[in-house]
Every structure is written in structure tokens, then in C-alpha cells.
Structure 1
């Protein structure tokens, strides 16, 4: 068996909860082979029916092989097909109880605004639920600990991902940490080459293959900084240079709602989780720093009268 096939057949991390199965499929399907995608689609479209099938039966239903079914189970995080069948049965029970809503349909050009609001709200809620279900909390804990102890923090992102990075930097600055989120890719690289052990670099890229984000993270990685990737594609190139990987989910991309909009919701959830994790670990100095920033802003909005 080749090393690549061995890697495919090794179960990545802890077995996902049943509610996370659909989220894992949505996140990983783009990187699967076509035959594996057929298996994954069948699992999500009919979890109850799939759970009732043997590995041979599911292979026949999807026009694939038993090896493909087992490989798909492993890629989704299950040690074997038996474990996947148990998760499918549990997922089917949750759906029957109304606890696992499906993703809403795309927004149409002629949709009334009330429908737009309802569809977007459901998409956002599903996106957050998927991210929460698939996020590796052990990796998240390690990332928060690294940030809390960091001498300096760089955050790299382009476009909408840079806006998310700026959000994280503003939060960290308010609790007294030194953080930067350069929007210019050249400045990002020149910042990255100054990092060293004890510093942290965070890359935010939904696709996992944005060159202007990969380059500075690689530079930081090579200089010994702790590197973190926040991405919707854990199999992307960015993962090669990430000590810690935080996977985000996303609502389906459509003509009227590109990935940059859809991915931002899950990225912001991860950013908020990171910030809270850091604040918990640095509470003794974070709380006074937050109070000082609130007081400073209050004085700007309510300046003292002249002569006092």
C-alpha cells in the first residue's frame, strides 16, 4: 500500500459527533475524488437509508467500490464503516426530531426581501453550527495558549479575510497584546521574516491556497514562530506551514453570494473563540486593559468641560 493511501486510510483525529457529519461532508467534498463525492452525497442525502446498508450495499447504490466507501469513511474521520453507520443512524434520528436542519436553497434574483432575510439567517446559522461541530477544540486550546504567551502576533489575510484579521487584532490590542494585520502582502512578508520563536503568525484563507497569505506564513514557520491557519480547506497548501489548523465551514457559494461573504461568518466565530480563550488565560491583565480602553473611549465621546 502506498504512503499516500496509508495516509488516506488513517482516521484524522477524534471521531466526529453525528451532527458534524454533514458539516464534514460540506467542508471536505471539494477535495474528494468524484467517486468519494458520490458516497458522501448519499450519506448526507439519505442518512437513514445509508445506515441500513452494508458496505457492499452502499458501494452498489453509489456505483463505487467497497474500498471507496471505506476510504470515504476514513476521510470523514471514522475508523471504519461500522462507526460511520452508527453516526448515520444517530444523524437520522436527530433529523427526525427536527434538530438537524438542511441547508436552505440559494437566493434567487427575484426573491422578496423577507425571503432574503430568512434564507440568509438560516445560512448563517447553519454555517456557524457546522463550524462549531467540526472545530478541533484541542487545536483551538493550543492556539489560544500560544497567543496568550506570544511576544508578538502577526495576522495575514487578503480581502474579506483581512477584515477578519483586523477584527482579531483590534480585540487583542484592547487586552494589551502586540498584534498586527498588514493588508499589503509585501509588508506581510517583511513583517514575517522578523518573527522568531515565541511569536505567533495566523493565516486566514478560506481556500487554503492564497499565495499572498501562504508566503508570509511560510516565512514565519521557517523562522520558528508558532503558526496557525484558519481555513475552510484543511487539505490546502497552507496546512504545510501550520503548526495548528482551525477548520471553518461555509454556506454554499452562489452567484449572488460569493465565498468571501459566506466564509466570513465562520472565520469570525473562530476569531471570537480565540479571543475569549486568550482573555481567559490572561484575565489578570486583560480585564484592567479592557477597562482602560473603555474609559479612554468614554472620554472621547463625553469630553470633560473646558477649565476642569
Structure 2
């Protein structure tokens, strides 16, 4: 099922001009809730984005629309009328009374995950897995709350037999962590809510070195320049909900599943080798305990 923000998102990704910080705020406001945005006025979108109404109108024209109304119509055209199963379930809960904290949390998580297939295409996941399968080395760049995701992904890739590692900064005094990047390597970056300060530098460096890039992001992703070769981006909740990490974690897990299918023998050999190593360590550990 195609997302109803796909036409707008495509224009953002194809836009070759400069996108300002205010433009990015408008993009996030539109793409995080495309259905709601498709029924709002320019002033209402501007209020949610924290910008002036004229900024929203200028942004629409910058992307090639005649104005805000045409941009809003592009959001509305693709709207799928079918309500999600999660919405139906929790509408029943609401009729019974106020949601408990557990129910409210699960509601927001399910709603965010339910939107994932509308934003991340299976074909893009497959392309990303194919790119990683051919990589000589994989480096993951993640900062802030995304660091745990970067470390998780690096560990999983290592277990599948890949040369992978995670970094959270670029030290210009000792650039050895990225200086060795070359054609044939792949850099995976995470960008959640905000653009990490050093990410544009890293993407520019990769482009100069002909290093392929993959970005896992939320709705800030389409506005980031330079753009990654492959972008896997989906909203992590509406503005009234907490921004969940379950969505980028799900993207990472889906990517790993596709990667196993791309290199089944390598994955099998690596995992079997890992199991053999664990058994050997357990035997050595038991032997050491007996001696003690």
C-alpha cells in the first residue's frame, strides 16, 4: 500500500536546492501526520511547525506546487480510507473509559508501527540488503538516543559475518576511523528528530570517496543534504505522542532479515561458528571451575 505522503516526499527527496531549517520544520509537520495536514489550512500547518504561514506557502512553491492548496491536495489524493485495525481496537477501549498508562503506551507504539509499511517499501529494504551484502566493510554512525540502535545493528552484522563497527562522532584530530573508507564500503547513519551535526560532513566525505550510504531516519530524513543513496524513513509517532524507537528498531530488524536471505550461506556459517565458540568457552569455563 502506497503512503499518502509519497508524492510530497518524492518531491522533497528530488529537490536539489537548499532547504532551510524552517523548511525542515514544515516537512516534519506535514509528513509526520499527512492525513491531518491534508485537512488543515496553511496557518494551522504553520502553527504546528512553529513557523510563519508565509514560510509554508513559500515551501510549497519551492517544491514546484502552485501554492499551499495544491500541495495539500497532493496529500489528500492518496489518503487510504480504510481504518487501521489498531485504530478500531483502541477506539473500543476509549469508549470503555480512559486509557491506562500501559494501554496508552501500547496504543502509540502500535499506531507508529502500523504506519511503517506505508513509508518503507519492501523493494527499498531489499535494495539496502543487497548493498550491504556486497560491502567490504560497514560503518554505522549514530548519536544520542540512536546510539543504542547503532551498537545493536553493528553487533548483529558482526554475528552474520560482516566487518562492522559503530561510531558516535568524527574526531578531526584523529580521523583514522573514517579515513580508511573506500569504494566498496557502506556507511549506515541514523538521524532521528534532528540532523546530527557531523552527519552532512560524513555524507559529503562518503560521496567524495564513492562510499555507498544508507540512512535510517524519521520524517527529517527526506530533507537531509547530502542525501543518502538509500533512505529508509518512517514517522515515529504523531506530535502528540512520544517519539518511539520501536520504528527504527523495526527497520533495522527487517533489514537484517532481508540480509540473511541475501547471504544465507555466510549467515549460516557465521552463526554456527558463533555457537561452536560458545560451546568451547563453556567447556573451558567448566574446566577452570573444577580446577579451582
The SS at the match of 1:207 is: coil
**Superposition deviation, residue 120 in structure 1:** 1.2
SS at match of 1:138: helix
Q: Give unmatched runs, 5+ long, in structure 2.
A: 13-23, 41-64, 92-97
C-alpha change, 1:299 and 1:125, in structure 2 (3 Å) is: farther
| TM-score, scaled to structure 1 | 0.66
Cα distance in 2 for partners of 1:202, 1:116 equals: 35
**What are the within-5 Å matches in structure 2 for residues 41-52 of structure 1?**
41=36, 43=38
* Deviation for aligned residue 1:265: 1.2
> Residue 178 of structure 1 corresponds to which residue in structure 2?
163
* Matched-pair contact (CA < 8 Å) for 1:228–1:244: yes
Cα distance in 1 between the residues matched to 2:88 and 2:4 = 12
Aligned partner of 1:288 in structure 2 is 269
Partner-residue secondary structure (3-state), 2:85? coil
Structure 1 247/35 Cα, relative in aligned 2: closer, same or farther at 3 Å?
A: closer
**Residues 190-210 of structure 1: CA deviation (Å, up to 9, x unaligned):** 423321111101110113521
Is the counterpart of residue 128 in structure 1 residue 96 in structure 2? no
CA contact (8 A) 2:5 2:31 kept: no
Check whether the contact 2:37–2:72 (CA below 8 A) recurs between aligned residues: no
The structure-2 alpha-carbon separation of the partners of 1:298 and 1:125, relative to structure 1 and needing over 3 Å to count, comes to: farther
Matches within 5 A, 1:39-188: 40-41=35-36, 43=38, 67-74=67-74, 76=75, 84=77, 87-88=78-79, 91-92=80-81, 94-95=82-83, 99=85, 101=87, 115-186=100-171
Contact 1:140–1:246 (8 Å) recurs in 2: yes
Number of equivalenced pairs = 245
Q: SS state of the match for residue 222, structure 2?
A: coil
Once residues 189 and 37 of structure 2 are traced to their aligned partners in structure 1, the CA distance between those partners, rounded to angstroms, is 34
RMSD: 4.0
Q: TM-score, normalised by structure 2?
A: 0.69
Unmatched 5+ stretches in structure 1: 1-15, 46-64, 106-111
- Structure 2: how far apart are the matches of 1:245 and 1:288? 30
- Deviation of 1:241 after TM superposition, in Å, equals 3.4
2:30–2:37 Cα contact (<8 Å) kept:
no
Structure 2 CA distance for aligned equivalents of residues 72 and 269 of structure 1: 30
Match of 2:202 among 193, 216, 223: 216
Structure 1 residues 300 and 40, CA, compared in 2 at 3 Å: closer, same or farther? same
Q: For the structure 1 residues 298 and 135, does the alpha-carbon distance in structure 2 shift closer, same or farther, using more than 3 Å as the test?
A: same
Partners of 2:89 and 2:189 in 1: how far apart?
28
> Aligned residue for 2:222?
235
Change (3 A) 1:66 1:242: closer
Q: Determine which of 270, 275, 294 is the counterpart of 2:251.
A: 270
Secondary structure of the structure 1 residue equivalent to 2:171: helix
Alpha-carbon distance in 2 for matches of 1:166, 1:36: 28
> 2:257 & 2:86 partners in 1: Cα distance?
27
**Distance between the aligned counterparts of 1:128 and 1:148, measured in 2?**
26
Task: Answer yes or no: is the 8 Å Cα contact 2:32–2:238 preserved in 1.
Answer: no
